[in-house]
Amino acid sequence: MKILYLISHDPFVEDGITKKIISQTKSWKDIGHTVKIFNIYIQNVIPDKPNILDAEIFQRTKYYKMPDQLFENIKEFDSDVIYFRYEPYKPFLNKIFKRFITIVELNTKNISEQKSTAKLTLFNYFRFIYNKYTYNKALKYIDGIIGVTEEIITSSEISKLKIPKIGIPNSIVLSDYQIVKTADDHSKVANVFFMGSKEYLWNGLDKVLQLAARTLNKLIFHIVGMDKDEKEVLPNVHYYGFQKKDVYIKILQQCHVCIGSLAMHRISLYMGSTLKVLEYLAYGFPIIIGYHEFALMDIENREFIMELDNEEANVINNVNKIVDFCYTNIDRVVQHNEVYQFIDSNIIEKKRVDFFNRIRKSNVKN
């Protein structure tokens, strides 16, 4: 099968989206499929940096204008399926979707999430209004929907659409990760790792700092993704700012437990599929989260997972339980065989490709 991955993303930055796309396309190729990535690049100048995604780049000079040669190159590749990471409505995208079998990937409940943050800035407000009134147009010619959680595809904004849909979580290539947590640690104080930013309300950075303030002599926190704020100085919190993988791995090696998102409720989500949580497990760390991790819903051995209620007081109400979990798991190393079938791309991506095939066989477009 020939699969075209169509995105609008910065292919010169190694962020979570980039790593996810690399993982997915690698798995599809390993299965035996032909894959190309077409990237609609918004900036006017292409930087002199490595193209991490190895994507074909099509520059878009105007928001609503189709990049030169994009349509012709899509026709030339003649894919069996286009896999499209959702973005707000643009008329030129619908020209593509009308012609070629297209499956869209939804990573959130777009309207609900944007509504919950609309009051924060004027930009957020207009983004919400635009997306709300063009959402059905954006999905009008889509042939199938993959939500990264079951919650997304059963939401009111998606369940009403009369097209095939399925929930398939994000995944990682587990063999690309080495366990970095060690079991022979003799630390007297448990060290906790958190990667996030106060800009993303669902991360719950403020909750991590509330926890730190209440565990001054019990836990030490290592926060990647945010520089120290003078208003938030605590003796048991170390800030590292944004760091590349080779640096934050060394920070991880000092830790015993990792914390994922704690405030999904702030964007009206109660289920998630979070790459960084999957990576924590792949590195061998027990996790604390404040939502249902879709990839782990069926896992029976949950002794290395602490799932808090998805509500505002979930940390404050459970400080002692969180401390107990950290010390119970201070020497606990999560092994790859414990999580392989739930998070590895070799398992998950076969489900995605099976859905591609089902949609391809039931659709014919000129």
Q: Could you tell me which residues come within 8 angstroms of residue 338 by beta carbon, excluding any fewer than 6 positions away?
A: 301, 304
- Could you give the CA distance from residue 53 to residue 239 in angstroms, rounded to a whole number? 30
| Tens digit of each residue's pLDDT (9 = 90 or more) over 235-285 | 999 999 888 888 899 999 999 999 999 999 998 899 999 999 999 999 999
> 3-state DSSP call for residue 49?
coil
Please give the single-letter amino acid code of residue 179.
I
- Residue 19 gets the label, from left (phi > 0), alpha (psi -120 to 50) or beta, of alpha
Stretch(es) of the chain classified as CATH 3.40.50.2000: 2-172+345-361, 174-343
Task: Please state the CATH superfamily assignment of the domain spanning residues 2-172+345-361 in this structure.
Answer: Glycogen Phosphorylase B; (3.40.50.2000)
**Single pTM value for the model:** 0.90
| Tens digit of each residue's pLDDT (9 = 90 or more) over 57-113 | 998 877 778 888 999 999 999 999 999 999 999 999 999 999 999 999 999 888 888
What are the beta bridge partners of residue 193?
Answer: 222, 258
> 3-state DSSP call for residue 239?
strand
Q: What is the CATH number of domain 174-343?
A: 3.40.50.2000
| Tens digit of each residue's pLDDT (9 = 90 or more) over 124-178 | 899 889 999 999 999 999 999 999 999 999 998 899 899 999 999 999 999 999 9
What strand order describes the sheet that includes 34-41? 56-59, 34-41, 2-7, 81-85, 102-106, 144-147, 165-167
Three-class HEC string of 306-337? EECCCCCCCCHHHHHHHHHHHHHCCCCCCCHH
Please give the single-letter amino acid code of residue 306.
M
Average pLDDT on 211-219 reads 95
